[in-house]
Amino acid sequence: MKERRVQLSVTADTFPLAEVFTISRGSRTEAHVLTVKVTDGTWTGWGECVPYARYGETLDSVTAEIEGLSLPLDRAVLQEVLPAGAARNAVDCALWDLEAKRAGRRAFELAGVPTPGPEITAYTLSLADPEVMEASARKNAHRPLLKIKLGTPDDMPRLEAVRRGAPEARIIVDANEGWSAEVYADLAPHLVRLGVALVEQPLPAGEDEALIGMERPVPVCADESCHDRESLPGLKGKYDVVNIKLDKTGGLTEALALREAALAEGYDIMVGCMVGSSLAMAPAVLVAQGAMITDLDGPLLLAQDRDHALRFDDKGVHPSDPALWG
């Protein structure tokens, strides 16, 4: 990007959810995001991030990181001055958007990746009582890929209920670090029996050494254990898949690099998201091309999205309109 004087600003935005969204760590009724705007006076780029308490982030702390940046700024410098995380993500993606608009090209062209197409995305069922989850599964049984939030002592009745409600859907399970090694070992045969295609982060990130040497009849995906390329050495022998989220990698720049490095080391790829708007998902669609699992359903969980929102249909989540991003 040519070095022009760029102005940067960040605002907090709130999107109401269509329904209460619950995981093992708690419930929410709104998505709280930060929106970054970078402008050179002619062109304007946009990015979004979702600060995540699990990683010690708050709206205020991430805002302070962003507002503390020195200008002028480009993506290469950004990788050095901010760590992987939500703050760098929003700024990095806004700079990609600005670069694309300045160049009169799409972001995927600048990234050197093939023209993107739609990708089937998971749809997440909120954690609830089994009968509620069964009803939700039945309501969404037409979707080809369902994701179930688990990670409690009463997971089997919930999983059985979802399978009853959606007997044909492909199912992935996210334990959100909620199981012990013993619980996972007990559940694994039942995951196979119920046709689960993948289990995400079964053990706490700091206790996943127990996965080494453990039989993994269902592919195991690293989420909280994988942030950026520096995470990869610690995953060896534990995981089969890595979940790439831009709020963890610190933006599209590192996400693309992590994808390439993980594939080179033999991992399959999942591309996930926090609960945010279409602006947060749009860059991730580029990373999701050809991934084993795409989980970019954040906008589907919202009661209201941004203008020029991503399109979701039976082919999946489509690449963004340039009026939204990139």
pLDDT tens per residue across span 230-261: 999 999 999 999 999 999 999 999 999 999 99
Partner residues linked to 48 by β-bridges? 35
Instruction: Tell me the C-alpha distance between 238 and 224, whole Å.
Output: 13
Question: What average pLDDT score do residues 171-190 get?
Answer: 91
Determine the pLDDT at residue 153: 76
Structure confidence at residue 1 as a pLDDT band (50, 70, 90) = very low
* Contact indicator for 292, 119 with CB cutoff of 8 Å: no
CA-CA-CA-CA dihedral for 153, 155, 156, 158, to nearest 10: 140
Let me know: does 220 contact 187? Beta carbons within 8 Å.
no
Q: Pairing mode, if any, of strands 44-49 and 7-23?
A: unpaired
Q: Do the Cβ atoms of 197 and 170 come closer than 8 Å?
A: yes
Listed in sequence order, the DSSP H helices in the chain are 59-67, 75-81, 86-103, 107-111, 130-139, 155-165, 181-193, 246-249, 252-264, 278-287
Question: In this predicted model, which residue has the larger pLDDT, 155 or 283?
Answer: 283
